[in-house]
Amino acid sequence: MSGQAITETRILPVDRPFRFESGRTLERIDIAYETYGCLNERRDNAILIEHALSGDAHAAFYHEGDKKPGWWDCMIGPGKAFDTDRYFVICSNVIGGCKGTTGPASIDPATGSPYGLTFPTLTIRDMVEVQRILLKHLGIDRLKCIAGGSMGGMQTLQFFCDYPSQFESFICIASAMKHSAQQIAFNEVGRRAIMADPRWNNGNYYGDISPEGGLSVARMIGHITYISEKMMQEKFGRIRKDKDSKAIFKPSFEVEHYLDYQGVSFVKRFDANSYLYITDAIDNFDLMASISSKERFRGQGRDRGVNFSDLRTKKGLVISFSSDWLYPSSQSKEIVRLFSALNVQVSYTDITTEHGHDAFLTDYRRPSELIRGFLSSLG
Amino acid sequence: MYKISAENYPIIEEWIPPQSRVLDLGCGDGSLLSSLISKKQVDGIGVEISHEMVLQCVQKGICVYQADIDKDLSEWADSSFDCVILNATLQVITKPYKVIDEMLRVGRFAIISISNFGYLRNRIRVLSQGRVSSRIRLSETWHDTPVLRFVSLKEFESSLREMGIEIMEARYFFPLNFISKVQWPVYNLLAKEGIFKLRRLQ
């Protein structure tokens, strides 16, 4: 493609208190976001993209001087699944993250030092509420679609159920209504790896060396769960990188180098405390419980949809991947069952791929066709 | 995929009350559901195994669920649909009895269409050429055709009786676009296809 589209992450400063679902409040927050394409005159062509655990606001196009585009550039752009010639696409960094939106690494104005573990407990619903502030700022109250994969799918479902009148449709990819014991277990091992690193120091490591060892182990575990056993075998097998090395326990297998690389590159761009907060929010997410609880209308939730009859005219697309063992197809089918019961016109497809959970970022051909077709059918 | 032409759509439309909740098994590109949605305002869901067909349904705005009819019908609750349709799809199913049983669990009534293997032309072909199906084209020989079941109208009807299923209505398609409600004496020889509206005997 000639002439790469350049973008930059913008910051929306919100100088009024934000109340978390836990009841705790931050006096002010920043929201980092990017937009692609143009909002039309009727302001009805907006699509909100939700990122996953390690994602950020930079979903598409290139930042000045960067060699790599945003994390979902294969799906967002002119003529792509989320066609920026037709739609106004928005993506923001989640609260609790570390890519511009306020998170544990941000400075607490009250103390002048980073929040660390004084940052409030985080939920998926908190992430959604912060994005509502952004949408209000952008002057958008109705969206064509909300879409996301993995944790992005959780935000999608939460947002869609809490404010059904704001959306025409949703697309939920490789996600779940709640984590299974196995999914919680993997996240817990990741968190323990971080907390077992002495440099973590109860979350007070800012200005010093961060718990890089722990965070990279957490990321390595993550990467094992993101790809299928078959693909890992095909990619690495038992190939050794440095056969002649005599050093004991030094990574020598190709797969060890791959994981090491993933871990090391992750610690350069991600904050360990954010990893703890966000994985905790994911593990505690339970869509059914959250939409049926009385807490639904507390705090920021006064405008939440009173009943689900609003969902009757809505459309949904749920996509799973055949080799995704972290978020198996059965969890996507559960989502379909719930939304069918709520009378949403929901379609489901299980895409055959060897890419495992990572397919939502890497195996984009079939999902692109489906998403393009789905969005066009909305008119 | 093997598909009967749309000539039975008017019969299906006649049998389905407006605003019904309809499940179309093996919905293909969603053309039957499209027609039912526009003409009978049904609330319809299609089930389809092929990715290409699922894509075509999604493009049309038809609600579709990618699944294997032989395995995945258990996901729907009892009586969650008014009508479950199996149009020209029985032939590709491995466990027809189980699927028919499930259709009448999930839906209050079912519509099943089949092509008649007892039809004269089929009999002549088997006798003269020794081939089971003219549908088997050059690219699709006996071992890779999706068609697994060869059944005549008479055999199918007696199976339904065995299963305790009532034929509420039936139509038989003869050559020259002649459609009859009546079981003529030689219908099993002369009809190309049949379509049945079914429910479980109380």
**Structural domain spans, chain B:** 6-116+145-200
Over the stretch A65-86, which tens digit does the pLDDT of each residue have?
999 999 999 999 999 999 999 9
**Distances B85 to A112, A343, B46, B107, B182 between C-alpha atoms, Å:** 67, 20, 9, 9, 22
CATH class as words, domain A6-178+285-377: alpha beta
Contact A377 B66 (CB under 8 A): no
A6-178+285-377 and A184-278: identical CATH topology: no
Angle, alpha carbons B159-B161-B162 (nearest 5°): 65
Over the stretch A101-129, which tens digit does the pLDDT of each residue have?
999 999 999 999 999 999 999 999 999 99
Contact B58 A374 (CB under 8 A): yes
Residue B58 touches partner A, C-beta closer than 8 Å:
yes
CA distance A66 to A45: 29
A4 Cα to chain B: minimum distance (Å): 30
B77 Cα to chain A: minimum distance (Å): 10
Contact A352 B51 (CB under 8 A): yes
Query: Considering only CB atoms, which chain B residues are within 8 Å of A332?
Result: none
**Distances B5 to A334, B10, B25, B113 between C-alpha atoms, Å:** 35, 12, 16, 11
- Whether residue A294 is predicted with pLDDT greater than 70 in this model: the reply is yes
pLDDT of residue B118: 85
Active site residue A357: yes
pLDDT of residue A257: 94
Contact A376 B59 (CB under 8 A): yes
State the pLDDT confidence band at B2, using cuts at 50, 70 and 90. very low
Comparing CA positions, the residue from A356, A340, A360 lying closest to residue A348 is A340
B55 Cα to chain A: minimum distance (Å): 6
B-interface mutation test, from A173, A317, A345, A349, most B Cβ less than 10 A away: A349
Over the stretch A336-377, which tens digit does the pLDDT of each residue have?
999 998 889 999 999 999 999 999 999 999 999 999 999 999
* Given A150, A290, A323, A332, the catalytic residue: A150
- Phi, psi dihedral angles at A79 (to 5 degrees): 75, -5
A352 Cα to chain B: minimum distance (Å): 9
State the pLDDT confidence band at B82, using cuts at 50, 70 and 90. very high
- Whether residue B88 is predicted with pLDDT greater than 90 in this model: the reply is no
- Whether residue B81 is predicted with pLDDT greater than 80 in this model: the reply is yes
Query: Considering only CB atoms, which chain A residues are within 8 Å of B62?
Result: 347
Its CATH architecture, for the domain B6-116+145-200, is 3-Layer(aba) Sandwich (3.40)
Active site residue A150: yes
Over the stretch A177-222, which tens digit does the pLDDT of each residue have?
999 999 999 999 999 999 999 999 999 999 999 999 999 999 999 9
How many other C-beta atoms lie within 10 A of the C-beta of residue A282?
22
CA distance B23 to B19: 13
Alpha helices in A142-253 (DSSP H): 151-162, 181-196, 212-226, 229-236
For B75, which of A317, A337, A352 is closest by C-beta distance?
A337
pLDDT of residue A1: 44
More confident of the two residues B165 and A298: B165
State the pLDDT confidence band at B133, using cuts at 50, 70 and 90. low
* Given A324, A355, A358, A363, the catalytic residue: A324
pTM score of the predicted model = 0.94
User: Rounded to a whole number, what is the distance in angstroms from the first to the last CA of chain A?
Assistant: 28
Topology adopted by domain A184-278: Rna Polymerase Sigma Factor; Chain: A (1.10.1740)
* Given A332, A357, A358, A363, the catalytic residue: A357
State the pLDDT confidence band at B1, using cuts at 50, 70 and 90. very low
Question: In the numeric block, which tokens belong to residue A299?
Answer: 């705090």
What share of chain A has pLDDT > 70, as a percent?
Answer: 98
- Phi, psi dihedral angles at A102 (to 5 degrees): -55, 135
pLDDT of residue B79: 94
Active site residue A141: no
CB under 8 Å to A278, separation ≥6 — which residues? A53, A94, A96, A97, A122, A151
State the pLDDT confidence band at A3, using cuts at 50, 70 and 90. low
Query: Considering only CB atoms, which chain A residues are within 8 Å of B55?
Result: 366, 369-370, 373
pLDDT of residue B117: 85
Q: What average pLDDT is seen over chain A?
A: 94
CB under 8 Å to A252, separation ≥6 — which residues? A240, A241, A242, A243, A245
Q: Where are the domains of chain A?
A: 6-178+285-377, 184-278
- Whether residue A11 is predicted with pLDDT greater than 80 in this model: the reply is yes
Question: Distance of alpha carbon A4 from its chain centroid, rounded?
Answer: 25
- How many beta-carbon pairs below 8 A join chains A and B? 45
How many other C-beta atoms lie within 10 A of the C-beta of residue B178?
10
pLDDT of residue A63: 97
State the pLDDT confidence band at A2, using cuts at 50, 70 and 90. very low
State the pLDDT confidence band at B5, using cuts at 50, 70 and 90. low
Over the stretch B90-123, which tens digit does the pLDDT of each residue have?
888 999 999 999 999 999 999 999 989 888 888 8
- Whether residue A297 is predicted with pLDDT greater than 80 in this model: the reply is no
State the pLDDT confidence band at B139, using cuts at 50, 70 and 90. low
CA distance A154 to A156: 5
More confident of the two residues A374 and B77: A374
State the pLDDT confidence band at B150, using cuts at 50, 70 and 90. confident
User: DSSP readout, B53-119?
Assistant: HHHHHHHHT--EEE--HHHHGGGSPTT-EEEEEEES-GGG-S-HHHHHHHHHHHEEEEEEEEE-TTS
- Whether residue B89 is predicted with pLDDT greater than 90 in this model: the reply is no
